[in-house]
Amino acid sequence: MHASPLLEIKDLHVHFDVYGGTLKVLDGVNFTVQSGQKVGLVGETGCGKTTTMKSILRILPMPPARIPSGEIYFKGQNVLKMGREALRQVRSEGISMIFQDPTAALNPVFSVGQQLEAVVKYSLEGKELSRKEIRERAIVPLKEVALPDPERMLDSYPIQLSGGMRQRVCIAMALVASRELLIADEPGTSLDVTIQDQILRLLHRLVEEKNVSVILITHTLGVVRETTDRVYVMYAGSMAEVANTEELFVNPLHPYTHGLMAAVPRLTGGGVSNGIPGRIPDYLAPPPGCRFHPRCDHAMSICRREKPPFYKLSDSHEVACFLYRDGGKGTRTL
Amino acid sequence: MTTDILTVTDLKRYFVIGHKDILKRDPITVKAVDGVSFTVQEGETFGLVGESGSGKSTVAYTTIGMYRPTEGRISFQGQNLFEENKVRPLALKKEIQIVFQDPGSSLNPRRNIRQILELPLRIHRRDENQTEQIVRLLEMVELPPDYMHKYPQMLGGGEKQMIAIARALATDPSFVILDEPTSALDVSIQGKIISLLIRLQNEFHLSYLFITHDLSLMRNVASRVAIMYLGKICEVAEAAEFFRNPYHPYTQMLLSSIPVVSAEEEKLKPKKITSTGEIPSPVNIPSGCSFHLRCPNKMDICSRVDPSMVEVEAGHTVRCHLHGQPDQADGG
């Protein structure tokens, strides 16, 4: 057993009150990040990945969002019960987030320098620094993300930069204060494949250097395989499977994980599979029991009635599926 | 024997995006497509791969007729697509159709599916029973007939794309341009769309020009692949051969950048090349070979002379000084 985890989410439920009912988006999320770990979170669009991450930082708009139950512990403290000052500390020194679309994440009317300096000031509340010192502190992260000519970069506006450079600026902003946990929400998705590769390698290097823990959110399985040590597979508001990365790719257990893996076109050829039939359920009226059962080839009658708990198949591999209720012994192979 | 259905010869498409002085004398041009030649054979899927700004969509839009070429020629079944001072005849428009990347914006949100599918039928097949045709089209893309009363926003992303495919097939075309048809969709839905496209291709003997930035997908759908970089094609080959034996340094860089999910795929990736540099702006294309700024195997000649297309093996052509340029002894 590890020491107390850096981040622990316990049975988190998030609902959105909208016209016409309540969207029950998160339905009991359990998620743990150990210190120094690189954790991947995969799932289809709309499965609740970003909602989970936003609830950690408490940046979900409330209302319409509402958290009826659940706990989020960061270094032993419940984020959901924090006061303003404690929350500010978490946001400025503990956790930072990189968003999917760097163009939308940066303010177009302020220069890169103004935006970076604002972050520097925010993270140093209480300490008085001269403008020159703030500027000097803002340059350091720009150098770390290997942006050419960081001096000039401070005076340029986001529109003058390419997509890859903008994402580097966002990473620089996330690294201004020394952080313990970095949440990267699809950091390469809006970029070209060669640029995505550069950004992921950059993230990897910085994470190793600074010993930061990372949560990498993506819907590309290949990215997860190459950059993380542990993977959570999420479906419709709860975790379907969690395992060490290597194990998950060699031995996926949940039918949903199987479907996802089979749907990825391979470089080795062999055609394209049919994917997973159906789509993510309507959160206004999610199916009872296991939310995956309408799309599952292996659905049994119990799946329609009860939500599967996590079955622990080994120290590092857990799966929420009734196919494995006898511990994986005697189950048919998928 | 295979016959060519579409031949693109030295296609150029420049856009004027501004002027250097206020008298509008010195135009600033973007060379979106700068001398592209390829042929698509009947019944095949020809893949066009490139990063954003490489000009792959401009090739598609010129073929469909949204732009006129600045220079060069596109012929379809031997017929020139751009006769001087002439609108493209209806019979030709009927043969070439397109499916766009984002079905969310390519379908009119104020029209229901029936109206969306009716428009091409009204123009190209006036004498047939429209309702019957619409039901048949929906059947073709595996959607129930009552979908004709729905509006696009009531459908999921995958279903919207199926409607876009049905609309393209409404005119009974022989050539369909697929402009990143699955890149806005999840992998779980991508599989379904691709299988559908392959089934329709076999059923109706369609030829596809398939545009994507996803090389793994390309490996599985295309028979031949062309790689574009900054408005030019740098390598063309049969799909299987292409992945086994990439010649161009840019192709190698692309391949080594792909995140893959299994160890067997890992072995196919060229190891040594790591991607560096940014894609230059197409307003300011580097001299010589446009890739030389990012190329790991750059030589002196690369910044001066633009290499020409050379056939290194049967059906495998490459545009790089490393590989059998006439005045270059250093062969690959």
Cα–Cα distances in angstroms (integers) from residue B150 to residues A286, B145, B146, B200, in the given order: 22, 10, 8, 23
Indicate the pLDDT class of residue A1, thresholds 50, 70 and 90: very low
- pLDDT at residue A331 tops 70: no
Share of chain B above pLDDT 90, in %: 31
CA max distance for chain A:
68
- Residue A28 and residue A307 in contact, taking contact as beta carbons nearer than 8 Å: yes
Which of the residue ranges A7-11, A256-260, A274-278, B62-66 would you say has the lowest mean pLDDT?
A: A274-278
Determine the pLDDT at residue B328.
Answer: 45
Residues of chain A with Cβ-Cβ distance to B214 below 8 Å are: 193, 265
Which residue is closest to A245 within chain B, CA to CA? Answer: B261
- pLDDT at residue B319 tops 50: yes
- pLDDT at residue A275 tops 80: no
Residues of chain A with Cβ-Cβ distance to B254 below 8 Å are: 193-194
Residues of chain B with Cβ-Cβ distance to A263 below 8 Å are: 187-188, 190-191
Alpha helices, DSSP H only, in A175-286?
193-210, 221-227, 245-250, 255-263
Give the best residue of A225, A248, A267, A283 to mutate against chain B (max B CB count within 10 A).
Answer: A267
Query: DSSP character for B186?
Result: -
Min CA distance, A148 vs chain B (Å)? Answer: 11
Determine the pLDDT at residue A328.
Answer: 59
Looking at 3.40.50.300, 3.50.50.60, 3.10.129.10, 3.40.50.920, the CATH number of the domain B4-80+89-318 comes to 3.40.50.300
Summarised one tens digit per residue, pLDDT across range B150-205 is 999 888 888 899 999 999 999 999 999 999 888 878 888 888 889 899 999 999 99
Mean pLDDT of A100-127: 82
- pLDDT averaged over every residue in chain B: 86
- Residue A15 and residue A205 in contact, taking contact as beta carbons nearer than 8 Å: no
B104's enclosing H/E stretch is helix B103-106
Determine the pLDDT at residue B1.
Answer: 56
Q: What is the pTM of this model?
A: 0.81
Which residue is closest to A258 within chain B, CA to CA? Answer: B188
CB contact under 8 A, B262 and A259: no
CB contact under 8 A, B279 and A273: no
Mean pLDDT of B48-62: 87
Determine the pLDDT at residue B134.
Answer: 92
Question: How large is the ipTM?
Answer: 0.74
Which residue is closest to B157 within chain A, CA to CA? Answer: A279
Summarised one tens digit per residue, pLDDT across range A29-48 is 889 998 888 899 998 888 88
Determine the pLDDT at residue B168.
Answer: 93
Which of the residue ranges A55-69, A184-198, A218-232, B284-298 would you say has the lowest mean pLDDT?
A: A184-198
Min CA distance, A260 vs chain B (Å)? Answer: 6
Mean pLDDT of A11-29: 87
Mean pLDDT of A296-304: 85
Determine the pLDDT at residue B330.
Answer: 44
Which of the residue ranges B7-21, B44-58, B257-271 would you say has the lowest mean pLDDT?
A: B257-271
- pLDDT at residue B332 tops 70: no
Summarised one tens digit per residue, pLDDT across range B23-33 is 777 888 888 89
Residues of chain B with Cβ-Cβ distance to A219 below 8 Å are: 186-187
- How is residue A141 written in tokens? 């992260």
Residues of chain B with Cβ-Cβ distance to A45 below 8 Å are: 157, 186
Is A278 part of the contact surface with chain B (CB cutoff 8 Å)? no
Determine the pLDDT at residue A310.
Answer: 86
Determine the pLDDT at residue A210.
Answer: 80
Nearest to A303 by CA among A318, A287, A317, A319: A287
Mean pLDDT of A296-309: 86
Min CA distance, B275 vs chain A (Å)? Answer: 6
CB contact under 8 A, B257 and A45: no
Which residue is closest to A267 within chain B, CA to CA? Answer: B216
Is A143 part of the contact surface with chain B (CB cutoff 8 Å)? no
A110 conformational bin, left if phi > 0, alpha if psi -120 to 50, beta if neither: beta
Where b means 16+ CB within 10 Å and e means fewer, A148-158 reads eebeebbeebb
Mean pLDDT of A234-263: 88
Summarised one tens digit per residue, pLDDT across range A204-222 is 888 888 888 889 998 888 8
- pLDDT at residue A314 tops 80: yes
Q: Domain spans of chain B? A: 4-80+89-318
Summarised one tens digit per residue, pLDDT across range A224-238 is 888 888 999 999 888
The helix/strand/coil state of B161 is: helix
- Residue A24 and residue A15 in contact, taking contact as beta carbons nearer than 8 Å: yes
Which residue is closest to A191 within chain B, CA to CA? Answer: B52
Give the best residue of A268, A284, A292 to mutate against chain B (max B CB count within 10 A).
Answer: A268
Nearest to A232 by CA among A220, A212, A217, A251: A217
Count of C-beta atoms within a 10 Å radius of residue B52: 14
A7-324 has which CATH code?
Answer: 3.40.50.300
d(CA A228, CA A245): 7
B98's enclosing H/E stretch is strand B96-99
Determine the pLDDT at residue B272.
Answer: 62
d(CA A197, CA A222): 11
Min CA distance, B141 vs chain A (Å)? Answer: 14
Q: Domain spans of chain A? A: 7-324
Determine the pLDDT at residue B331.
Answer: 41
- pLDDT at residue A2 tops 70: no
Summarised one tens digit per residue, pLDDT across range B80-108 is 888 877 888 888 889 999 999 888 888 99
Nearest to A243 by CA among A148, A322, A314, A166: A314
Min CA distance, B230 vs chain A (Å)? Answer: 13
Determine the pLDDT at residue B26.
Answer: 80
Q: What is the DSSP string of A79-114?
A: GGG--HHHHHHIIIIIEEEE-S-HHHHS-TTS-HHH
